[in-house]
Structure 1
Amino acid sequence: MGEADSGTGTVVAYADCVHCSEPTEYPESVRGATLCPVCEWHEAQRAACPG
């Protein structure tokens, strides 16, 4: 899946989320574990909870 970059007209391929396989906001060239906005929010909630 990709979306045209508004400035250059080139197609940007977005990486899939490592948890749910939904598209993320990160291009495929980003290294590391990429998460979609929903999974990022869930991960932040888990990390913030001390118990």
Structure 2
Amino acid sequence: MDRDRSTVEETEEAAEIVYADCVHCGKPTEYPESVKGVTLCPVCEWQEAQRMACSG
């Protein structure tokens, strides 16, 4: 029973977190808004890594 209660509390805490939008496409990211710097969604983050790897 304690396990169910902690799961509910974790779910409620997660619902309160506001996630930052991707600076390229505007989709939600994995990062909360409190994170400083450029925030990218997983797709844009992967594409950026590909560009950097091929930039020479």
Q: Give TM-score scaled by structure 1 length.
A: 0.80
Equivalent residue pairs, number: 46
Gaps of 5+ in 2: 1-8
| Between structures 1 and 2, the one with greater strand share | 1
Structure 2 residue identity aligned to 1:9: E
| Between structures 1 and 2, the one with greater helix share | 2
Give the alignment of 1:12-51 within 5 angstroms.
12-51=17-56
Q: Give TM-score scaled by structure 2 length.
A: 0.73
Structure 2 residue identity aligned to 1:19: H
Percent of pairs with identical residues: 70
Q: Which residue number corresponds to residue 7 of structure 1? A: 10
Runs of 4+ that moved beyond 6 A: none
Larger radius of gyration: 2
Q: Which residue number corresponds to residue 5 of structure 2? A: none
Gaps of 5+ in 1: 1-5
